[in-house]
Amino acid sequence: MHRMAALPPASVLTQLSANKVFGGYQKIFSHESSVLGCTMKFGVYFPPQYEDKPLPVIFWLSGLTCSEANFIEKSGAQRYAAEHGVILVNPDTSPRNLNIDGDSKDWDFGVGAGFYVNATQEPWKTNYQMFNYVNYELHSTVADNFQVTGAQSIMGHSMGGHGALVCALKLPGLYKAVSAFAPISNPINCPWGQKAFSGYLGPMETGNWEEWDASKLVKKYNGPPLPIFVDQGTGDKFYKEGQLLPENLVVACKDGANLINLVLEMRDSYDHSYYYISSFIGDHIKRHATILNAK
């Protein structure tokens, strides 16, 4: 089972917006994060069934340069969450407004690019603890403020796909399933991952990079059976450039534990954008809901 640290106290929430959509409500909240040391925003979609009973939760992790807004506004996921009766929770991708030296220099590192790791290097280690934020502080905040069943799964896109895979693999049993659109599947072997890990974790030789790489973690996974669904467009320029490497994850799963059930779906000509995500998000939510609602 997953090895959970002591949960931080749930945060006091401020509701920033509420919009009715597909019979439910898309809301955005802010709270003061003790883990990240800043104000954070996250979205929650409450489907219409929420008025009658507690519901399972799917967490969504977004990609590079995104905030909590991208998924809410572009994915069309609310339609399918309403159809299947699941809550969607989507946090921001990094700490904000800390003005750490160098945090806004590059689009693929720092603000909007937390990579869902726990940084160990200065000046990042005090605030860039996105793994702990997502899996501990955000979880406790959701559980203490909303009516949820306790059944939960996780999905994400690109950097967020990497994050979703790592969260599920590092904390066996916490999530009943994981799926990812165009995930960074083997970050220690691609430029995006190498840049982020060097900055947040230090040199490969001493930074324990393999503890944050799904293609390495899957080989030593030891927990309940874990369904993994990976979705990849063949027209994705980042796939063609070798940033994503889903085939490496497939090979690693074959070499690793039989507890992993990986499906890789290749989508002909689709790219890396939210046009692609919105085309197949219904498929992902249906897969998650089937598992989350199973008795």
Task: State the burial class of residue 189 (Cβ atoms within 10 Å of its Cβ: 0-12, 13-18, 19+).
Answer: middle
CA distance 186 to 79: 32
pLDDT of 206 reads 84
Classify 54 as helix, strand or coil.
coil
- Note if the pTM is more than 0.85: yes
Model confidence at 2: pLDDT above 60: no
Query: Does 52 qualify as catalytic in the annotation?
Result: no
Query: Does 144 qualify as catalytic in the annotation?
Result: no
Q: Cα 181 to the chain's mean position, in Å?
A: 10
Catalytic residue from among 179, 231, 236, 284: 236
Query: Does 62 qualify as catalytic in the annotation?
Result: no
Walk me through the domains of the chain, giving residue ranges and CATH numbers. 14-292 (3.40.50.1820)
Catalytic residue from among 158, 179, 185, 215: 158
Catalytic residue from among 31, 84, 157, 272: 272
Query: 269 and 235 in contact (C-beta within 8 Å)?
Result: yes
Taking only the tens place, the pLDDT of each residue in 232-290 is 999 999 999 999 999 999 999 887 666 788 999 999 999 999 999 999 999 999 999 99
